[in-house]
Structures are given as C-alpha cells and as structure tokens.
Amino acid sequence: MSPATPELISPRSPRVLAARRLAKRNFRGKERLFLAEGPQAVREAAGHWTTGDTATLVELFATLEAAERYADIVGAVRDTGARVHLASEQVIADISTTVTPQGLVGVCRFLDTPLEEVLEARPRLVALLANVRDPGNAGTVLRCADAAGAEAVVLTDASVDVYNPKAVRASVGSLFHLPVAVGVPVEQAVDRLRAAGVRVLAADGAGDRDLDEELDKGTMGGPTAWVFGNEAWGLPEETRALTDAVVRVPIHGKAESLNLATAAAVCLYASARAQRAAGGCRSVTGN
C-alpha cells in the first residue's frame, strides 16, 4: 500500500480492544494503563518521560486527518519509540470517551508517585483531595494546583480515580506536570505531611479562620497542604480535627458558596502568593 494511502488498524485488532477496555477502572488498575485524549494531553504525555520500556506514552491511535493536523505531536510520539496506529474515525470513536473526539488517543502508563517520594522532595505547596468523587472536579483541582505552582497533589483512598478519562481531560495535561500520590488514607497523609514540616489547612466554608485574615497576619508563607473535601458535604469533623486549622474563603457578595474547584484555586493561589513573597514557592513562569 502506498504512503498516500496508509493502512488503517482494524477495529477488531487486539490493540483496539485493549485500549477500549481502559475506559473501565478495573482494567486500568489491572494493566496500570490509562487513556489520554486530545492533542494537549498527548503532547504532554509524549514529553513526560521518554526512556525505553518505561516511557509514559505506550501507543497512539490517530485518524489520518489528525495525524496531518498534529504532525508535530505525532512526530514527537514517534521519537519516543511509541507505536503509532492510524485509525478510522469509527475506531477513535470506539476508544474515546468523549462525544466529539479530536482524533488522537494515547495509551499511557500510570504516573502515580509514592507519598514518601513526594515528601522527600520537601514540597512547599500540596493539594490533598479527601473524598472527592467527581472526576471533573479532581482533574480541575489538579490543573489549579499545577497553575498555582504546587509541587504535588495527593488523592486519598476514598477519592475518585485520577486516571478516569474525565479527570485526565479536566486536568488539561497537568496530570503530566507534577507528582500525584493516590490511594493514601487521609489520616496517614495528614500525619506524614505534618511530620515533614508542612502546615495542613482544611478548606471549609464553615471554618473558624478567614483566609484574608490569615494572609494579613502573615501565616501563609510556610510549607502548606490544603485539604479539599467532598463536593456535596465538604469535610467531616474527624478530618477537620486532623488539620492545623480550618479556613474559610470569605464570601463578600451574595453567593451562597463556592464550588470545589473555585475554592481550591483561591486557596492555592493565596498560598502561592504568600510563599513567593517570602521567597519560597517556585514560579512556573521562571520570574
């Protein structure tokens, strides 16, 4: 077959069937593989780790149109040694979990980092997701943490699977930017963070401390981990009791509350600003 009409992978190929199964959590856990959909996620996956048998990106499925449109990304994928399969739109639709696929679906190895390794790096800003169940929220908080310059995200054992396709999409590539620890009991996570010299703050609308007041008092410049709770019922009393302080984001207008991702962004950026002022937190812009 000529280069102008490259052979397409069969919809019945074992590779296609294996990729399709990764939409389900039990198969992801068994294979320790997940899907990264769309050009941004695939680009970040290709650049994450590229060494031999441990490269993050294992293989890529791409339509002919997407392979041409995103030739630079496909070239970067080929440079990692990952397999590239040209596929029909139907194959991509079968593998993808989105309503309107963008023509690129990558299969990636799990990225999670042991909590001990996270703490060895002496992080100054951490987001801890306790009992967060919505994958879109989890991915968005991860993206906020990345944007604010956090060094790690921790998901407790009661939280959603960070490799859920919706969570991966919502992170918009940030999953590949910073260490993520998963499956850690909240008590253990808080204890180890505090033992590492990190102040642990619970973000809760009913908190007895005000975020603005904490900033004004100059207490936010040290290493900090923010604990964010469930979307519907927040943090239980037993989790709040584990932390050093329970802090609320002040509501200056008439809104009843903030959603999880918005509150997380406010808290993380507040810490990032305080830490930069103290010469602490890394700047993602290099400034």
pLDDT tens, residue by residue, 153-184: 999 999 999 999 999 999 999 999 999 999 99
The answer to whether residues 131 and 253 belong to one domain is yes
Do residues 23 and 35 touch, judged by C-beta distance below 8 A?
A: yes
The answer to whether residues 81 and 171 belong to one domain is no
Domain limits at 231? Answer: 115-277
The answer to whether residues 99 and 138 belong to one domain is no
Last residue of a domain, one of 109, 124, 149: 109
Task: Tell me if residue 170 falls in helix, strand or coil.
Answer: helix
Q: Which residues pair with 180 in a beta bridge?
A: 153
The answer to whether residues 98 and 123 belong to one domain is no
The answer to whether residues 245 and 126 belong to one domain is yes
Predicted TM-score (pTM) of this structure? 0.90
- Buried residues in 182-198 as b, exposed as e (16+ CB within 10 A): bebebeebbebbeebeb
Q: Give me the pLDDT at residue 279, please.
A: 52
Residue type, 26: N
In the Cβ-directed half-sphere of 155, how many Cα atoms lie within 13 Å?
25
Task: Tell me if residue 140 falls in helix, strand or coil.
Answer: helix
Q: Is residue 93, in this structure, part of any structural domain at all? A: yes
The answer to whether residues 122 and 84 belong to one domain is no
Give the CATH number for residue 105: 3.30.1330.30
Q: Is residue 6, in this structure, part of any structural domain at all? A: no
Of 50, 29, 40, which is closest to residue 72 (Cα–Cα)? 40
Query: Who's near 40: CB < 8 A, 6+ residues apart?
Result: 172, 173
Distance CA 125, CA 199 (A): 10
- Go through the chain and tell me how many residues it has: 287
Distance CA 253, CA 239 (A): 28
Write down the mean pLDDT value for the chain.
Answer: 92
- Per residue in 43-70, pLDDT (tens digit) is 999 999 766 567 899 999 999 999 999 9
In the Cβ-directed half-sphere of 50, how many Cα atoms lie within 13 Å?
13
- Per residue in 87-102, pLDDT (tens digit) is 999 999 999 998 889 9
The answer to whether residues 150 and 91 belong to one domain is no
| Encoded tokens for 2 | 């000529």
The answer to whether residues 105 and 126 belong to one domain is no
Q: Is residue 286, in this structure, part of any structural domain at all? A: no
Q: Is residue 91, in this structure, part of any structural domain at all? A: yes
Q: Give me the pLDDT at residue 5, please.
A: 53
What is the residue-wise DSSP string for 54-84? G-SEEEEEE-HHHHHHTHHHHHHHHHTT-EE
Domain count, the chain: 2
The answer to whether residues 67 and 145 belong to one domain is no
- Per residue in 222-256, pLDDT (tens digit) is 999 999 999 888 899 999 999 999 999 999 999 98
Pairing of strands 152-156, 125-129: parallel
| Encoded tokens for 261 | 């991702």
The answer to whether residues 31 and 120 belong to one domain is no
